[in-house]
A and B are shown apart, each in its own frame.
Chain A
Amino acid sequence: MRNKFLFRISVLVLAILFVTPLLADNHESILDKVKNRGKLVCGVHGGLPGFGFLGEDGKWSGFDADFGRAIAAAVLGDPSKVEFVPLNAAERFTALQTGEIDVLIRNTTWTLSRDAELSTDFAPPTFYDGQGFMVPKSLNIESITELAGASIGVTAGSTTELNLTDTMRSLGLEFNSISYADIDTLYNSYDAGRVDVVTSDKSQLVARRKDLKNPDDHVILDATISKEPLGPLTIHGDNEWNDAVSWVVYATFFAEEHNITQENVKTFKTENPEIKRFLGESGEMGKKLGLPKDWAKQIIISVGNYGEIFERHLTPIGLPRGVNKPWTQGGLLYSMPFR
């Protein structure tokens, strides 16, 4: 009796062991997972004012955080159904690969290697940035070539770390770089004079300069050494999900192109067929993406168009719009047609 029981158990265990890997292959899109869960899990920066940081009221705020809310509004119809997960530069991709987060919106640069090798897919950039240098005014430095021999602080595991090395090598300059995994440690040690220079995306330098002991004693050099297109990322191979995230971004561009704002979206009257499709009044744009009919409208109701998001978070910290304006005004923001 007893060993029969044992025999059955062993057979069962073996069966489970052999069958489970086959079942594991059967995967569903993250889009469905988010819908079933009723909540979006979004990886953000956590320590970058203007982009993603935890406010004093315990709420996540910032440009990147609002794009997370826009996705939640489009998929679930409610911008508050987001859980934000703060990640550092080195751990962000692992979090995405392991499915710990659904989408990563953490000023991450789109590069060939990351697109091809890292098993991630990029959605359109939400912010076109470039890498710059911040130095104390007292050093009287005006160009990068004067940085020979300097100690330079940089975020560990970032593209800026690689760009810095490339630039200094091509200029033939000796330097000493110190990589910090934690952004607060980086700026603290810059403030203390541990490093002479700090290099990062210019938007980050502007955002963090405000928090230094004497913001006016520091200057951001004019030179821009790289292109840093920053945007949301999804896991490689989940096309449905990547499409949904991409079109959320386009929707914010499109609304700005056509002056659809948080205020007027509910009452927006138009005969323009494309705008009608955008607002879900005709066509089946939402269905094609696996989203509700009024998905784009929900985005604008909850966070507004691109310009509004920008003015809410980035204008206050002193970032000019630069190339981050609609193509109709000579910028780089270009929505694909809603057709």
Chain B
Amino acid sequence: MMEDNSPKVISDKIPFYRDVRFLKVFFQILFIIGIILLAGFLYSNMLNGLSRQGIELNLTFLNSEAGFELSEGIDFEPSETFLKAFWVGIVNTLKVSILGIFSATAIGFFFGIARLSSNWLIRQIASVYVECFRNIPLVLQIVFWYAIMLVLPVVRESISFFDSIFINVRGVYLPALEGTAGLILWLWYLLSGIIIAIIVVLGLAAFRYFFQSRELHATSRPSFISNIIFGAKWVAAPTFLIIAIVGWFLTPEVPFELSRPEFRGFNFVGGMNFSPEFTALLIGLAVYTSAFIAEVVRSGIQAVVKGQREAARSVGLKESQVLRLVVVPQAIPVIVPPLTSQYLNLAKNSSLAIFIGFPDLFQVGEIMMSQTGQSIPIFAMIMVSYLIMSLTTSAFMNWYNHRITRIGRSR
């Protein structure tokens, strides 16, 4: 500021409204007041508009009976509340996002590295993959995958593998382990096994620390921690295993049984089912995002200076070792920040589920809005839920990024 340059003696004489120290603070306060007033205006305007239409803003409707069924997710009965229905939506969104993030990362790393392959064919295939999938709108891709699911054979003509895996227009049915009545008892055995193992290991470590190692020289004396690790490996794990196996036979009923999908009435019953909606959404999100991740990975690898590769090769490392030991560790800090954005995009894009009828957070919210008319509170709830998910993801990724860059520097 200009006034800063003038001598202090004069600054005493200028009136407060020309004093830069005062003005700085004054305008900041004015700005904050402006923001508050604007927010207040928008809020009161909304309340006015709502009261004119006879809508009251409150959340009591969340405790009333939902009255609709949801096609998948954690157990939900139509007699349960709207709040529970919303929670089912959140869990479904989390499920598809987390699985999507893992699969997109795996596919993305594969194609990102493949794009830099020395093999011409692999390189071209990877480029075609990336360019195709990142340049077609995601909605189209999801609807496309769903259309593919719908041309699978009908239930009665399912494709079956070994009579235990079935694929049909209702999705993929896999055998699953289901807990029986004996499961609880067996879990108690396991818990007691863990407790016994901990006691034994601590006792053993203390014993070795105080008695056995006293004769050794102080510097070569094993630390308490290494004693615990030793104990865990050679004593606790076997103890635990023995208890688990003996417990398995001690329980009157076998804790788990294999549940195979079986055709009954209209559908397959039992086992595990990935619905076509879920599968189409998961494939759509994973494939789309993986194309972007592939580019992120490629740019990360190319950011590692060429000399590093050459140096690694010159000490005789194999090409795979060059990648694993030298290039990737240095590329990761470059990759992580843009990777975080891709994860956030994937989670938010999962709201496109509404196009194919997967009951995610957004679709459940839409149904609730239609059934209750409480658009504004429900929209706010949806926004806050996505916000919390995104902030958590980015906090975790920032922590991870901080950790790896710190390790990088200390090296």
Contacts and interface: CB of A to CB of B under 8 A. Distances in A.
Interface stretch (B150-158, B385-393, B398-406): B150-158
A223 interface: no
Contacts, number: 139
A185 B150 CA distance: 10
B52 to A, nearest CB: 6
B367 A156 contact: yes
Interface in B247-289: 264-267, 269, 276-277
A150 interface: yes
Contact of B267 (A157, A176, A185, A236): A176
Nearest to A93: B373
A177 interface: yes
Interface string B356-373: 110100010011011111
11 contacts: A90-B369, A93-B369, A93-B375, A150-B266, A156-B370, A176-B71, A179-B363, A181-B357, A189-B150, A194-B170, A194-B276
B178 interface: no
Q: Which of B38, B78, B359 has the most CB of A within 10 A?
A: B78
A179 B265 contact: no
Contacts of A175: 69
B41 A21 contact: yes
A237 B54 contact: yes
Nearest to A119: B53
A114 B373 contact: yes
Counting from the closest, the 8 A-B pairs by CB-CB distance are A157-B370, A192-B150, A118-B373, A193-B154, A90-B366, A149-B265, A180-B357, A177-B69
Contacts of B49: 24
Interface in B131-154: 146-147, 149-151, 154
Contacts of B57: none
B377 interface: no
A204 interface: no
Interface residues of B, number: 52
B36 to A, nearest CB: 10
Interface in B31-83: 34, 37-38, 40-41, 44-45, 48-49, 52-55, 67-71, 78-79
Contacts of A224: none
Interface string A168-195: 0100000111111110011011001110
A97 B34 CA distance: 29
A117 interface: yes
A57 interface: no
Contacts of B38: 17
Interface string A16-31: 0100110011010000
Given A97-B55, A157-B370, A179-B71, 15 more contacts: A93-B369, A93-B373, A117-B372, A119-B53, A149-B265, A151-B266, A151-B267, A165-B67, A165-B78, A176-B71, A179-B357, A181-B357, A181-B363, A192-B169, A235-B53
A20 B45 contact: yes
B392 to A, nearest CB: 28
B161 interface: no
Contacts of A236: 53-54
B54 A119 contact: yes
B354 interface: yes
Contacts of B407: none
A237 B48 CA distance: 14
B17 A178 contact: no
Contact of A181 (B52, B154, B355): B355
A12 to B, nearest CB: 12
Contact of B369 (A17, A157, A180): A157
Query: Most chain-B CB neighbours within 10 Å: which of A90, A165, A181, A194?
Result: A194
B68 A162 contact: yes
Contact of A24 (B45, B78, B371): B45
A41 B312 CA distance: 70
A262 interface: no
B30 interface: yes
B266 A149 contact: yes
Contact of B355 (A13, A24, A182, A237): A182
A248 to B, nearest CB: 22
Contacts of B71: 176-179
Contacts of B371: 157, 161-162
B54 A24 contact: no
A94 B68 contact: no
Interface string A123-165: 0000000000000000000000000111100001110011011
